[in-house]
Structure 1
Amino acid sequence: MLVREAMTSPVVTIPRTATVRQAIRVLHEHDITALPVVDEAGGLAGIVSEMDLLRGVFERDPRAFARPVATTANPVPRLVEEVMTREVETARPNTDVATLADTMMRTRIKSVPVLAGAGIVGIVSRRDLIAILARGDARIRDDVLAAIDEYGPDGRHWDVSVQDGAVELLGGDADEPARRVADILARTVPGVTRVSIQGHT
C-alpha cells in the first residue's frame, strides 16, 4: 500500500507568520494534531504540533490561563515560526506505507507531510495508520477481490483469504505475470499488511 492511499488530503496548513494562538484555533477547529507550516511561496517551512503550540503559550507566559491583568503594553504575540520544527521528516506519494510507519515508530514522529515536487499534497498521521489497521478482514477481502476483478487478467479466478490484514491468494492456474499483477493489486488495498500467493495443491 502506498502513502497516497493512506494520506489525508487536501492538507490544512498555517503560514509561518501566523500567531501561536491562531494556530491553536486552526488545530481545534479541524480536530487535528499538527500543521505543516508554509512560507510566502507556499513551500514547506516546518511543522508545528500541539505540544509546540502549548509550549509557545505556557513558556512565554506561565499565567496564560490566569485572570488577565491590565497592562499599558501587551506583548507581541509569539509567531508559529518561533516554535515550529524546521527539520521535517517528509514522504512521497509512492512511498510504501510500511516503510513510513517504521520511520514514524522509530523516530516517534506523529505526523509526516507528503510532498510531490515542492508542493504539499497530503499528510499522514498516526490516526491515519490506525484507521488503515482498523479495517476488518472481511472488508479487505472484498476490496482485494474487487481490485483483481476490475484490473486483473480476464477470466482469472482467485481464492482470497485474509487474517489480521495478511492476504493469501490461491490461484493454481495463474502464470507468473498474472501472479505479479495480483500481488501488486492486493497490496494497493488499504489495510493489507502482507501478501502471499499459493498454488493449488
Structure 2
Amino acid sequence: MQVRDFMIYNVYTVTPSTTVKELISLLETHRVGGVPVVDEKGNLVGIVSDGDVVRFLSPHKEKIYLAYYISYVEEAEGIEDVLREKMNTPVEQIMVKKHIKTLLPDEDFESALRLISKHHFKKLPVVNGAGRVIGIISRGDIIHNLSKKIFEKEKNPSL
C-alpha cells in the first residue's frame, strides 16, 4: 500500500501572507489542526499548526528590564492586548520553515508510519516531484488504515 492510497487529497493551505486571524478562521471552519504554507505556485514553504498559534498568542508574564542601573517593569499582557496586537501578523512569522519532513505519493505505508512516529508529527504534507503539495497524511489517517487492515484480516484470515 502506498501513501497515495490513504492520503487526503483535499488539502487546505495558506500562504505566508495569510494573517493569524485568517488562519484561525480556516482551522476552526474546517476543523483541522494545521496546514501547509505554500507559495503562489503551490510549493511547500512551511507548516503552521494550532500549536504554533497558541504559542504565539500566549500572553507574556511581566518583564523586568535592567539597563545601566535603571530598572522598570512592563505589565503582564492580557489576552485582549495580545489579540489586538497579533491578529494581523502574517503566518510567515510563526510557521515552521526548517527541517520540514514530507512524503511522496509512491512511498509505502510503512515509511509514513515510521516518519510520523519517529518525529512525533501529527500530520505530514505529501508533495509531488516538483515540491508542490498534493495531499496530507495525519496520524488519524494512519490509525484508520491500520484499523482497516486489522479488521479485514479478522474477517478474512487468508489475507
* TM-score category of the 2 structures, normalised to the smaller one: 0.7 to 0.9
Q: Scaled by the length of structure 1, what TM-score is found?
A: 0.62
Return the index of the structure with the highest Cα Rg. 1
Task: Identify the residue that residue 114 of structure 1 maps to in structure 2.
Answer: 126
Task: Identify the residue that residue 15 of structure 2 maps to in structure 1.
Answer: 15
Q: Is the 8 A contact 2:47 2:95 kept in 1?
A: yes
Provide the identity percentage: 30
Secondary structure in structure 2 of the residue aligned to 1:14: coil
| Bigger relative contact order (CA 8 A; separation at least 6) | 2
Is 2:111 the partner of 1:99? Answer: yes
Cα distance 1:82–1:5, how it changes in 2: closer, same or farther (>3 A)? Answer: same
* TM-aligned CA deviation for residue 134 of structure 1: 2.4
Secondary structure in structure 2 of the residue aligned to 1:135: helix
Q: How many aligned positions are there? A: 140
Aligned alpha-carbon RMSD (Å)? 2.6
> After TM superposition, which residue ranges in structure 1, 4 or more long, deviate above 4 angstroms?
59-62
Match runs of 1:1-201 below 5 Å: 1-59=1-59, 62-64=77-79, 66=80, 75=85, 77-87=88-98, 88-117=100-129, 118-135=131-148, 137=150, 140=152, 162-163=153-154, 168-169=158-159
Which runs of no fewer than 5 residues in structure 2 stay unpaired? Answer: 61-75
Q: Deviations over 1:2-33 (max 9, x none)?
A: 10011011211011101112111111111111
Q: Scaled by the length of structure 2, what TM-score is found?
A: 0.77
Distance (whole Å) between structure 2 residues aligned to residue 93 and residue 111 of structure 1 = 14
Which runs of no fewer than 5 residues in structure 1 stay unpaired? Answer: 69-73, 141-161, 170-201
